């Protein structure tokens, strides 16, 4: 995995456990601490867990489109390390455009793309994505044009 994350034995172990289904992006924090915590601060493993989610998600992932303004899941697509941002935008953006038109308020709406290991994330809320997912990019629908 060439993702800019310096691998550690713990990150490798967590990635192996993600592949085997032992843990997932939904595993409760306390279970992560109990399984991987070490030393005087068992919570020190949380950052490595998040790095493992990112590393594993890059190879076997799901990109999720979420309306942050209204707290609404919009769409998701499976991805690999070869999936380009342009491909993701081409596939996900129509969902955001349709949602913006149907939402109907006319107010600007922030939509964000997150990545996690492959799975169904349609029932998750914004807090889940903010604490567990890798932030990729965001855009605002309905933004008024800037005048020069």
| pLDDT tens series, the chain, 148 aa | 444 555 579 999 999 999 999 999 999 999 999 999 887 787 889 999 999 999 999 999 999 999 999 999 999 999 998 998 889 889 999 999 999 988 867 788 999 999 999 999 999 999 999 999 999 999 888 865 555 5
Q: What is the pLDDT of residue 92?
A: 92
Q: What is the pLDDT of residue 68?
A: 93
Q: Minimal CA–CA distance to 57: which of 80, 41, 73?
A: 80
Q: What is the pLDDT of residue 6?
A: 53
Instruction: For residues 107 and 147, give the distance between their C-alpha atoms in angstroms, rounded to a whole number.
Output: 18
The answer to pTM > 0.95 is no
Q: What is the pLDDT of residue 2?
A: 46
**95 with 73: CB under 8 angstroms?**
no
The sign of the dihedral angle between the CA atoms of 100, 105, 109, 114 is negative
Q: What is the pLDDT of residue 83?
A: 92
Instruction: For residues 38 and 18, give the distance between their C-alpha atoms in angstroms, rounded to a whole number.
Output: 19
């Amino acid at each position: 995995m060439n993702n800019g994350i310096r691998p550690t034995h713990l990150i490798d172990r967590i990635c192996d456990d993600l592949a085997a289904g032992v843990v997932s992006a939904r595993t409760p924090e306390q279970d992560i601490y109990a399984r991987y915590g070490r030393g005087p601060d068992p919570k020190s493993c949380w950052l490595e867990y998040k790095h493992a989610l990112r590393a594993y998600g890059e190879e076997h992932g799901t990109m999720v489109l979420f309306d942050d303004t209204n707290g609404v899941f919009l769409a998701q697509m499976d991805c690999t390390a070869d999936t380009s941002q342009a491909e993701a935008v081409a596939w996900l953006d129509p969902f955001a455009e349709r949602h913006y038109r149907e939402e109907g308020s006319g107010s600007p709406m922030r939509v964000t793309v997150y990545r996690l290991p492959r799975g169904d994330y349609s029932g998750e809320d914004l807090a889940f994505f903010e604490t567990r997912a890798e932030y990729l990019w965001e855009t605002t629908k309905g933004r008024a044009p800037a005048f020069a």
